[in-house]
Amino acid sequence: MFFKNLQTYRIPAPWAISAAALEASISKQAFAPCSSLEMQSQGWISPRDNGALVHAVNGQLLIGLRTEKKLLPMSVINQVSKDRAAEIEDQQGFAPGRKQMKDIKEQVTDELLPRAFSQLSTTWVWIDPVNGWLVVDASSPSKAEEVLKLLLGSVEKLQVSSLRTVHSPLTSMTDWLVADEAPSGFTVDQDTELRANGEGKATARYIRMTLEADDMRRHIAGGKQCTRLAMTWMDRISFVLTENLTIKRIAPLDVIREENDPTNRNDSERFDGEFLMMTGELNKLLGDLVDALGGEAAA
């Protein structure tokens, strides 16, 4: 396994909550499928399908939030409700009023829910108690905050704070493009987005194109700043850094795969080995990235 996106938070290090204590806390909100009248259900699941809600490997912890959503488009509810209202109008001789129409929609929704398809998704959370990282594999801060809300509701007195750096990614990425020089250990790849702050928010996007220094400086001189930048760390991991410190499109490169050959491992050993490899690599990447952004900002 390898996370695709990083929403990164800080917890006190060393973290005083053991894997067993975390398991006991989140077990109160273990996942249960939607009932026939529920549109959505959320809860914690076993990462390895063995009943344990916390998977621990060499001190690193993995938990997963399962979300089930019923797919019942409002357009379907409205159409069935319209047909039902027409039948009622024929029976009573006048169109249903606002309150009656509301009751009809609620009844139709209750009738259709048991037949609606379900969509399942899982959001993974990596917790590093030693180095104080809590990382959610989510592409947007709002999705990560949804996970954190449930986690904070599960674990009493859990202290979590957003990762803050001395220099903002927006300023730093812009400076790197102006200087045509990436920070130590990093290289700039071929994707970027530059956006102006003005009313029109003029935007220039480069996708799989060489970022010519003169072009970048011209955009920046015209008032744009870098909001997304594709980079590679130590020839080991490629990713896209965004202005809000989200790390997206993470991809381990071949050198990592070659160093961690899963041949002759069973499924359990392979999973644990890949998890340890991922946490080790991401730990170093996060440390170097924070340094490149001027270090962590004081609380």
Residue 178 has pLDDT above 70, yes or no: yes
Domain boundaries, the chain: 7-71+117-162, 74-114, 169-292
At 264 the pLDDT is 59
Contact partners, residue 224, CB within 8 Å, separation at least 6: 194, 195, 196, 202, 203, 204
pLDDT of 55: 97
Average pLDDT, rounded, for the chain: 92
Q: From CA 229, how far away is CA 188, in angstroms rounded?
A: 7
pTM: 0.86
25 Rama sector, left if φ>0, alpha if ψ -120 to 50, beta otherwise: alpha
- Contact present, 42 and 31 (Cβ < 8 Å): yes
Residue 262 Ramachandran class (φ > 0 left, ψ -120 to 50 alpha, else beta): alpha
pLDDT > 80? residue 199: no
pLDDT tens per residue across span 204-249: 999 999 999 999 999 999 999 999 999 999 999 999 999 999 999 9
